[in-house]
Structure 1
């Protein structure tokens, strides 16, 4: 009897190992290309900052203001709004409603391009905006000049994010990873030629970024419309203009969810701009935030994996598989976070030397190394839990949690520690970290209490309400054409 029980336990352990291994392969099939794409694409910003930073402390501070405030502001909105595409396409793929994925992609393009155009004045008038916010005149002027070079990147975001999420939900995002890696290598080469050899300065660095980024878009469009996605792409359709209102609602809640996270760090930089020796403080903080953001790009791979795996399984109607996937992804992401925690502590003073030669900035970065390490560790929890919410279409809930944790908790605590307790930039960052801890705790509790059978039901209802048969797409196009002609 005991031998049978032991044999049964061994079999269960073996089955569990097999399930973990299979799930692991599914996770990395989505996660590796996503990590490669996000790390290399964000790496372009880091490389550009490095070339601009060695030109001088003022240029570095100006670039930091525009990248971490204006660019992150727009990036957060457009990336967040594109997560609606991730939810819809992921669940449609799981439910085998393949032709609807192309429709969802085109709806996302329409909404994102309109949003990018609305955001355009932020980049055109950023210099004046920073002056109104009380930033130093020279730093605000430098940021205003650099922001004009970021306008092509604004429209890059509006197309790229939707394309990437469309491809990754059908497990075809390896093309995105390799295109992004190739464009990153090209960006490094062009930056070296334009800045170091031709001495074009800021224009050279920004031209290199714009060329490299848009080559990714061109490659992805060729892949999609050229016949490599025959089941999910059936050409441009006027059906994309139907049912926009519910998609806009989901996109807005998705945008709020992520942009509130992105703006959180922007608030930190903005507050640093009011401190003594603001140029050094902003420069040091921007270097730290770029390190955490670059590491977060790896964590976004797990956010992506969590979103795709959860949305696919919910669309397929398998609640247990969705729950099991969450556990495996969370463990892998935690291991990655622990690794980078150790790296940040071990190389605290060496990191800043990659970005600047200014000794005051290097010393300031070294003083923030412990907080930097804790931030990269928290990223591993935060990303997966957010990805689970995206996969289930619960973006509005996460937006509410972010507002409460960050702006009711973290920011006020940071202001008190920074200005009242005179801890300066370290105090502000401690407050911000407390806000992230609050967010992770609440998201962790909500995820642990989730009724996955209920989420399967909600996913089915959402897909059925927006489902169009191929014949209905044609009928919609004919109706719109007749309306336009008549």
Structure 2
């Protein structure tokens, strides 16, 4: 066979494999994206109804949900992300009976964290008033709302581990359906409680509680309904064995994700310290609405690539892992370029969708270039973080985030925005520097990683985190590859190549 024929054959194979991998990633990412959009809409529905009660009530719900709920959910989601690593690798390794034990360990840990967080909801009024310097009437109303919202906090502690359990097995369409139905129920309950019965803030909070627990009830029903005979065998005392190692990984996950959450919040806090803060915050609000869609797509893709990486590492298929990573990174860069192009082309007209103020429209238009760069980066960074979660690098990424965000980004933002008086643009430029540094470091690490070594380390990590009572790792089932010698040479794979085992989404 001629060299030209070999080259053409290799090219066709690469195109076919890339299309297959891309299709698999999107089949995972789209339902995750849909479920996250439904979840986000819970807050939108509550705010829409409460906003008609008065300015104090609207401010109270905004403060309670964006400070208390965001902090608590971010911490719980961070702790739960450790489960994403472990059960994803267990699925790839064929150790399906470990999934139930890992999930129960996460339920125990998230439940304990929730108990520690509950007093913050009970004493929300003095915390908001004394420590965060919120207005007295807003703090009082927010404290009332937070008190009634405590059951929702415990629902989150149950929801997040179950979410990770289902996602790792690609049961993502079912999650989207559950979230969609719960959103419809939430809208109906909130309308009845607030508009029809006039229960105000307590009614809105209780409607949210019921809706969140409806999600948990549906998930438990799905879990115990016989659809997971190999991965869920009921509650077991083995969940308490070697839980210390599980906590260690969970803490690293929590630090990694919370640092990213709080970094974005720091931007608004710094902007609020400027002169004419109200106008600057309105401009930032418009810009953040642009970012929302890019973030949703990136988070959905982040979850998908995390599943792929953890599954393939658990199955000891480093070349498949590397291929999934390359396709995911390439796709995220392409999507980031599209979002950036949209912002740059319509930067003067898009702000009119969110505001009638000429000052706000002009200010948001001036920030168009920075916004374009931002939406490009936030299309890439979550995908890189998803790869890190799938590989179990949470602790290392946490240190990277500290250095890039808090030792570089925020100080640069303060320097440019406040000290050098460049205002919002200066703050944003400084913090964007930290984001770019983080992206560059993670991208360098990922592209230079020895995935053969990572696959070899996976068995050791699972043994450490899973406990001695677990069985030895089994080889995952696979089929023989039909690659030609030319393709094998191209991939430089020392062992026999294997096809990607496509996970069916449900």
TM over 0.5: yes
Aligned pairs for 1:313-328 within 5 A: 313-328=312-327
CA distance 1:170–1:257, change in 2 (3 Å): same
Which of 45, 48, 51 is residue 46 of structure 2 equivalent to?
48
Deviations 1:287-332 (A, max 9, x none): 6546535642321111111111111111111111101101111222
**3-state SS, counterpart of residue 227 of structure 1:** coil
Distance (whole Å) between structure 2 residues aligned to residue 238 and residue 440 of structure 1: 41
Q: Is the 8 A contact 1:29 1:171 kept in 2?
A: no
Which residue is 1:165 aligned to?
A: 164
**3-state SS, counterpart of residue 228 of structure 1:** coil
**1:5 shift after superposition:** 2.4
Aligned pairs for 1:415-426 within 5 A: 415-426=414-425
Which residue is 2:333 aligned to?
A: 334
Deviates more, 1:285-294 or 1:410-419: 285-294
Deviations 1:126-164 (A, max 9, x none): 332333345342454454444334423322222212111
Which residue is 2:480 aligned to?
A: none
**1:86 shift after superposition:** 0.6
Which residue is 1:113 aligned to?
A: 111
**3-state SS, counterpart of residue 306 of structure 1:** helix
Which residue is 1:452 aligned to?
A: 451
**1:464 shift after superposition:** 3.1
Distance (whole Å) between structure 2 residues aligned to residue 281 and residue 427 of structure 1: 12
Which of 72, 76, 79 is residue 78 of structure 1 equivalent to?
76
Q: Is the 8 A contact 1:68 1:269 kept in 2?
A: no
Q: Is the 8 A contact 1:92 1:98 kept in 2?
A: yes
Which residue is 2:504 aligned to?
A: none
Which of 66, 72, 89 is residue 87 of structure 2 equivalent to?
89
1:268 matches 2:267: yes
Q: Is the 8 A contact 1:191 1:208 kept in 2?
A: yes
Distance (whole Å) between structure 2 residues aligned to residue 41 and residue 317 of structure 1: 34
**1:446 shift after superposition:** 1.1
TM-score normalised according to structure 2 size: 0.83
TM-score normalised according to structure 1 size: 0.86
Deviates more, 1:150-159 or 1:310-319: 150-159
**1:252 shift after superposition:** 0.3
Distance (whole Å) between structure 2 residues aligned to residue 56 and residue 283 of structure 1: 19
RMSD: 2.9
Aligned pairs for 1:384-463 within 5 A: 384-463=383-462
Aligned pairs for 1:26-41 within 5 A: 26-41=24-39
Distance (whole Å) between structure 2 residues aligned to residue 245 and residue 291 of structure 1: 41
Deviates more, 1:327-336 or 1:224-233: 327-336
Q: Is the 8 A contact 1:269 1:286 kept in 2?
A: no
In the alignment of these two chains, the number of paired residues is 467
CA distance 1:366–1:117, change in 2 (3 Å): farther
Distance (whole Å) between structure 2 residues aligned to residue 147 and residue 281 of structure 1: 28
Deviates more, 1:379-388 or 1:183-192: 183-192
Distance (whole Å) between structure 2 residues aligned to residue 291 and residue 191 of structure 1: 27
CA distance 1:394–1:470, change in 2 (3 Å): closer
Deviates more, 1:104-113 or 1:139-148: 139-148
